[in-house]
Amino acid sequence: MKGRTIVLDHIAGREAAALMVDGQLDDFLIASDAPPPGTIYRARADRPVKGQGGMFLTTPDGPAFLRQVKRLAPGAHLLVQVTGYAESGKAIPVTAKLLFKSRYAIVTPEAPGLNLSRSIRDEAERDRLLEIAHDVMEGHGFGLILRSSCAEVAAEAIAEDIEAMISQARQVLEDDGKGCETLIEGDGPHVLAWRDWTDPAEVVTEAGGFEDHGVLDALERVRGIAEPLPGGGHLYIQPTRALVAVDVNTGSDTSLAAGQRANFACAKLLPRALRVRGLGGQITLDLAPMAKKDRRGFEAALRAALKADSEETTLAGWTPLGHYELQRKRGRVPVSEALS
């Protein structure tokens, strides 16, 4: 089955969305009991964490942690936004820099200025989009980022999207309530699919779509630890309390170049394998044996593969034992956890 298909359905009583590309599961979103990223609270400062420059907060959904706090006294109320999913037993990660994000526009109240996605390179198109942005944003004082999905989209649709985010931002920022409260709930999987999967695709909304389009079979593989590599070999992906361990196995290939081939295949495949499993945090790669001269090429291949990935990932580098480490944002709920 060729092409892109977005399937909106439910599984295990939870709303979920799947992106199938050429018959393969390329992305998967599922609702969880935890507050989703994008949720905005009026929270109360509780206690500072000495040495870390942070503050524990109280929210309607439990304790949260805000980093890099200055001049915030315990007992004060402030607006914060959820940035990711917390590990079990840990506080919800939040930020005081609010973003209001939709399909075409991101309104940034604390960062004034108009910006366009760098991927839009046509000068005439950039001028058209900036003109739309100036017309809609005039007099508001907020910042704006126009996303890459704006390219070639009708002015009316972009303007409507910007205005909706401005309205939402004003509603939150003009809030004068007291106590802890949820002001905006983060987007669920179906809205996120509309917001972020913007390339042309067939959209399936009928019940049973996951079964009809092979999503359930793909999820069975995702819930396991093995991810096959092209040409043989596997990645073995195992989340632990401290980190996600990834072992690169060459399988039956015993040639001198087997390790290099498997490691470069890992670089290309890893972002999708982590994405569909919803895994983040510290990632440690136990790579197959290869010459040190090939390390730079491996890093370049991994960096190129991560460019198209939806989750922010930092390449930390090599350890003395020859492992490779990454730090990945916990922007997804782990699929195994949501379906357990």
Using one digit for the tens of pLDDT, what is the confidence trace for 292-332? 999 999 999 999 999 989 899 999 999 999 999 999 999 99
Model pTM greater than 0.85? Answer: yes
d(CA 239, CA 36): 21
Q: Model confidence at 70, in pLDDT bands (50, 70, 90)?
A: confident
**Range of weakest confidence among 28-42, 62-76, 147-161, 257-271:** 62-76
Whether the per-residue pLDDT at 15 is higher than 70: the answer is yes
| The pLDDT value given to residue 196 | 96
- By the 8 A CB rule, do 23 and 2 touch? yes
d(CA 70, CA 66): 11
Using one digit for the tens of pLDDT, what is the confidence trace for 214-241? 999 999 999 999 999 988 899 999 999 8
d(CA 184, CA 104): 19
**Which parts of 177-225 are beta strand (E)?**
181-184, 202-204
**pLDDT average, residue stretch 118-126:** 95
Q: How far from 292 is each of 169, 246, 287, 296, 340, CA to CA, in Å?
A: 51, 19, 12, 8, 41
Whether the per-residue pLDDT at 155 is higher than 90: the answer is yes
For residue 85, what are its two tokens? 């999913």
| The pLDDT value given to residue 68 | 82
Whether the per-residue pLDDT at 88 is higher than 90: the answer is no
**pLDDT average, residue stretch 202-209:** 96
> If we measure between CA atoms, which residue out of 38, 11, 34, 8 comes closest to residue 222?
11
**pLDDT average, residue stretch 34-63:** 92
